[in-house]
Structure 1
Amino acid sequence: MKLRRQRQCPAWSCFAVDIQCQRLLKHDGPHGASPNPRYAQHYSWTDADPNAIEVLPGNVWFHRPDPSRVLQTARRVGEWAALVPGAFFLWWACSLTTAAVFLAVDLLLSVRRAHFVDLGRFTAGVWPGSPAAPRLIFAVAWMWHGPERNVKRAGLEVVLGRVTVGVYALAPRKEWGERKRQRAALHVRRKAGRL
């Protein structure tokens, strides 16, 4: 499968607006462009009459490929190209469990941003540690619902190198019912358009 680089349409509007078309090259229909990526409207014109400019709703902006993203993807492909033979060797030499543990630990240690899964009152997640925090090889700690001395434990966290894995309750059992009611009321207000 060959990847094609998407190119921007080279057409420009009239001198009064002076903006390049932000659609893809060889697009169908009139040209269009917004002044910036967050603008709520766009200018529209045709090749036949570039001076007849129409202002229409919706943003039209050409997103150029981010070179850092391409480098990140290439780096990840390289990492996986090294990992898969290593896991296959562990499977061949030891067992499938050893290979699976190797891949799971490597995936955990390569986390760059936080990922969470909510399971009712509880949440489980993995997140990178703070760069200012001391480097730990392995640690186990309790998580608490607040800084006070009389609060209950919220859950458990395990630190593996610079990554933390944790499972904890979002609220104490006594407060959970009230919190659910507040969340449901907020959802109803949002749906009604009052928020």
Structure 2
Amino acid sequence: MRRRHRCSTWSCIAVDVQCQRLATHDGPHGASPTPTHDRHWSWTDDDPNAITVLPGTVWFHRPDRTRIKKAARLLGEWTAYGLVAALLWWCDSWAAAAVFLALELLLSVRRAHFVDLGRFTAGVWPVTPAAPPLIFGVAFATHGEGRNAKRAGLEVILGPVVVGAFSLVPRSDWPAYKRSQAAFEAQQKELHP
């Protein structure tokens, strides 16, 4: 793996920050006070005392360290979950431990996962940020918008995630959907033999 080096240039004494860009960058130097700050300072080699404040974040990330930190955090979390599951198994039953691990795995979902079973699909996905906060909820998935839309399946909201099973298209539209899907696959095979 190639190491990424940070630019070694410092700004003027008034701000006194090191450039957060890569050592081989083009253009002006830049630095943000924190990794999530929405603005950054910018200056050039010609005049390091002329500092401008611009929108956006400029922060040097070391990918090797961030991956190690993320892996260590995940290892720590799952070690704790394993210890709790072992304690539940020892004190109660294997079913309690399995339910605990399944709920932890379910509630840790950060992106959508689906399994297609012919005309039907089942999956788990995070709740949209615009949705009202719920601890538990049950809803119907529909084909289309409005009150007259046909029901497609069932969704269960469990805090930050939704678990659902529903049909992809109504039964009457399934043959036309399969034909269009087969035509699309044939077209893809012609383009990419």
| Same topology, TM > 0.5 | yes
| Aligned structure 1 segments of 4 or more residues deviating by more than 6 angstroms | none
Q: What does 1:1-195 correspond to in 2, within 5 Å?
A: 6-7=1-2, 65=63, 67-193=65-191
> TM-score normalised to the size of structure 1?
0.64
**Alignment RMSD, CA only?**
2.1
Cα 1:70–1:113, aligned 2, differ >3 Å: closer, same or farther? farther
Shift of 1:69: 3.5
Q: Which moved more, 1:177-186 or 1:124-133?
A: 124-133
Q: How many residues align?
A: 136
> TM-score normalised to the size of structure 2?
0.65
Give, in whole Å, the separation in 2 of the partners of 1:84 and 1:169.
Answer: 36
Any gaps of 5 or more consecutive residues in structure 1? 1-5, 9-19, 21-63
Between the two proteins, what is the percent identity of the paired residues?
A: 58
Shift of 1:177: 0.9
1:64-97 per-residue CA deviation (whole Å, 9 max, x = no partner) reads 8454443322211111010001001111111111
Give, in whole Å, the separation in 2 of the partners of 1:88 and 1:97.
Answer: 11
Give, in whole Å, the separation in 1 of the partners of 2:124 and 2:115.
Answer: 9
Give, in whole Å, the separation in 1 of the partners of 2:65 and 2:119.
Answer: 41
Give, in whole Å, the separation in 1 of the partners of 2:65 and 2:176.
Answer: 48
Which residue does the alignment assign to 1:27?
A: none
Which residue does the alignment assign to 1:12?
A: none
Shift of 1:101: 0.4
3-state SS, counterpart of residue 111 of structure 1:
coil
Give, in whole Å, the separation in 2 of the partners of 1:7 and 1:189.
Answer: 41
Cα 1:133–1:151, aligned 2, differ >3 Å: closer, same or farther? closer
Any gaps of 5 or more consecutive residues in structure 2? 4-23, 25-61
